Structure formats: structure tokens, C-alpha cells
Amino acid sequence: MKDFALMMIGAALVNNVILARFLGLCSFMGVTTRIDTAAGMGLATTFVITVSSMADWAVQHYLLDPYGLGFLRTVTFILVIASAVQFTEMTIKKVSPSLFQMLGIYLPLITTNCAVLGVALLLVEGHMSFVGSTLFAFASSLGYSLVMVIFAGLRERLALAQVPRLFAGPPIGFIVASLLAMAFMGFSGISTG
């Protein structure tokens, strides 16, 4: 239990997907203009990363490893992720058409989010159990969501600030992102994940 907890803290904070591994930067800059949309995107990505990591673990251990098909890993994982997104989209539409109207906008964007594939490939290197790899994926995506919401909050404040014209918009966004990454470096040493 303690190992799982340390591994999750390491995945979420120390080796944060966005600020330490530099994955998912497209959505990090593109969908963080408001806290609520960032939170919606973060939760959708959390769901897809966790579900696709479950499927990826099964594919890796029952198909790719036994038949020596490791060279097809990246292509296979991309297929699994695209299928997971389609599954999620169809399920949400079936579960509640109203929710689909509201949240469906985020789902197609996740297919091309490199954080999803990045986490799946990291799991293979980790050689973890099924529950361990799922919890690692869940914690990594929670870290992703946390950073998205924090950055969206900062950008909402920035929108009200008087920023010099030269730095207005994306430039000040990148500067704030780098400062946030430096702040997250403070978590180094808590756990090696």
C-alpha cells in the first residue's frame, strides 16, 4: 500500500506529465483559458488515460509479449487509444445525451494528446502489475489535470493584469509555465516514483 502511495505521488507531482516530461503541451496551452474548461478536459483525459492503460496492459501482456510483437507496440497503442476514445464517446452518448452535448467536445482532442501515448509507453518500461500500472496511469493523469487547473487559474488572473504589449498572450503564458515547472521541481526528493 505504501509503495502504491509513493508511486502515485511520484507520478502526479515529482515526474509530472506536463511539467517534468513535457507531454500534452498542446492542450496545456490551448484549453487553459478558463478553469472550468481545463477541469473538464482534465477529467476527460484522466478517464481516457486510465481506461486505455488498462487495455494497453492487457495487450502488452497477452498479445505483444507472448508473440514477440514488441516492434508493433507504438502502432498498437495508438489503435488502442483511438478505440478507447471512441468507446468513451459512444458510452457517454448512450449514458446521457445531455452530458455528451456538454462534454463531447473534449473527446476527439484527446486522441491526438501525446500524454496518453506517453503514459502508456512509460507503463511498459515500468514492468508493473495490472493494478500498479492502472494506478500509475491514474496518478499521472491526475497530475496532468492538477497542472491544467492551476495554469488555467493563473491565466484567468493574467487576463485581468496589465501585461506589457510585447509579452501579452502566449509569451507571458510560456513564462508563467516555466515558473510553474520550476515550482514543481521543489517536489523532487519526496519520492523517486
Partner 1 sequence: MSRDIHTVEGIARVVGVDGATAWLEPEQTTSCGSCASAASCGSGSGSGATGIGTVANRIAARRFALDNAAGLAVGERVVIGVDHRALIKGALTAYGLPLLLALGAGGSAEAAWGNDLASMAAMAAGLLLGLLAARTVAGRLGARGELEPRFLRRARPGETCSGSVA
Helix (H, G, I), strand (E, B) or coil at 68: coil
Judged by beta carbon, residue 157 or residue 185, the one nearer partner 1 is 157
- C-alpha cell, 160: 485581468
Using CB under 8 A as the binding rule, whether residue 112 contacts partner 1 is answered as: yes
Q: How many residues interact with partner 1 (rule CB under 8 A)?
A: 42
d(Cα 104, Cα 110) in Å, to the nearest integer? 11
Is residue 162 close enough to count as binding partner 1 by CB under 8 A?
no
C-alpha cell at 181: 515547472
Residue 63 binds partner 1 (CB under 8 A): no
Please select the residue that binds partner 1; options are 5, 63, 79, 131, rule is CB under 8 A. Answer: 131
Residue 100 binds partner 1, judged by CB under 8 A: yes
Q: Interface mask (CB under 8 A) for partner 1, residues 35-54, using x and -?
A: -xx-xx--xx-xx--xx--x
Asked if 179 touches partner 1 (CB under 8 A), the answer is no
Nearer to partner 1, 75 or 159 (CB): 159
| Out of 30, 70, 171, 186, the residue judged to bind partner 1 by CB under 8 A | 30
DSSP result, 99-124: HHHHHTTTHHHHHT-HHHHHHHHHHH
Q: Please, are residues 111 and 45 in contact by the beta-carbon 8 Å criterion?
A: no
Nearest in space to 9 (alpha carbons), one of 193, 188, 138, 132: 193
